[in-house]
Amino acid sequence: MTSSDALEPDPLSLLSPAIKAGVLSEALPYIRRFHGKTVVVKYGGNAMTEERLQRSFAHDVVLLKLVGLNPVVVHGGGPQIDTALSRLGKKGTFVQGMRITDAETMEVVEWVLGGQVQQDIVMMINEVGGKAVGLTGKDGGLILAEKKYMDDKEHPGERLDIGFVGDVVRIEPAVVKALQDDQFIPVISPIGYGSDGTAYNINADVVAGKMAEVLGAEKLIMMTNTPGVLDKNGNLLTGLTTQTIDELFADGTISGGMLPKISSALDAAKNGVNSVHVVDGRVPHCLLLEILTDQGVGTMIRSQ
């Protein structure tokens, strides 16, 4: 953290009382519309590594809970995993946006995601007045997983073994629903477990998408380090349908690390989640702006 980060005020503190009153008035119909609804948030990118953005995220999640929404947080941790691996002299490698995970890397993933990162998020939310509880896929049998293989694009018909990387087989949401009913905010690490107890590293976007489907979420919000989904000229696409996203896949507009993110968003939109939002996590209070105001900060994907 730089000294400028430490001294930079929260943007909301700079608003006049009249403007704040207008913001609250604008939020009222959204609060009424989404009261009691579940919102799954995939938390990652700069929002996890910059202190001012961490604070605004924690405040947003707690506020959403206090006004009657049910936020569920699924977090990533790629930069933290890379830092831990570098201390061991290892470098992360990826195939089609998925981390190749050998046995040693999997141990690091479990320690970083299920320990350090998760507990930091839980404490951050609790410090600003929330009641957060951390979960991994093992808790309450939450995430049953199986080994994932990737299609080899250079050798059609063949598959790539990328180690202890998993696909979601089934999500048992009972433990999440029990926490929500008791006014807790679940914070979920994307680690699944096979029927034999083997741990698998699962892409956090995939877990967030499946969690939103199973919970019947009103919204899935994916925080990223871009303004949203961009066209080939770098322009923001503010509104998309499942049909137009298929076209963006086909012409290569969506590629690399955005592939698992948008694939999960597309699946969620096709499977009952009313709207999916890919938002710029570098914007303070992006969750509140996207959910409770007329002016969003990213791309919204509608189910139809």
Which long-range contacts link 12-17 to residues 24+ away (Cβ below 8 Å)?
12/285
Q: Record the pTM.
A: 0.87
Task: Give exposure, 238-270, as e/b (b: 16+ Cβ within 10 Å).
Answer: eebebeebeebeeeebbeebbbbbbbbbbbbbe
Give the integer Cα–Cα distance in Å for 32 and 190. Answer: 31
Asked whether residue 239 is marked as a ligand-binding residue, the answer is: no
Residue 17 in any domain: the answer is no
As for how many domains the chain has, the answer is: 1
Q: Is residue 11 part of a domain?
A: no
Q: Residue 282 annotated as binding?
A: no
The answer to whether position 25 is within a domain reads no
CATH number for the domain including 192?
Answer: 3.40.1160.10
Q: Rounded CA gap, 124 and 147, in Å? A: 33
Is the Cβ–Cβ distance between 168 and 147 less than 8 Å? no
Domain membership flag for residue 14? no
Dihedral angle sign, alpha carbons of residues 146, 70, 287, 244 = positive
Instruction: Look at residue 196 and tell me if it is in a domain.
Output: yes
Does residue 63 belong to any structural domain of this protein?
Answer: yes
| Amino acid present at 84 | A
Known binding residue 159? Answer is: no
99 is in an annotated binding site: yes
Task: Determine the residue type at 304.
Answer: Q
Contact (CB, 8 A) for 80 and 74: no
Alpha-helical runs (H) found in 164-240? 174-181, 204-215
Residue 77: inside a domain: yes
Q: Examine residue 205 and state whether it is found in any structural domain, yes or no.
A: yes
Tens digit of each residue's pLDDT, the chain (304 residues): 444 444 455 655 655 666 556 667 788 888 899 999 999 999 988 788 888 899 999 999 999 999 999 999 999 988 899 999 999 888 878 877 678 899 999 999 999 999 989 999 999 999 999 999 999 999 999 999 999 988 877 778 788 888 999 999 999 999 999 999 999 999 999 999 999 999 999 999 999 999 999 999 999 999 988 877 887 777 788 778 777 777 787 777 776 667 777 888 888 888 889 888 888 888 888 898 888 887 667 888 876 6
Give the pair of three-digit tokens for residue 231.
């066209």
* Phi, psi angle pair for 240, to nearest 5°: -135, 155
Q: How many CB atoms lie within 10 A of CB 223?
A: 28
CA distance 208 to 43: 9
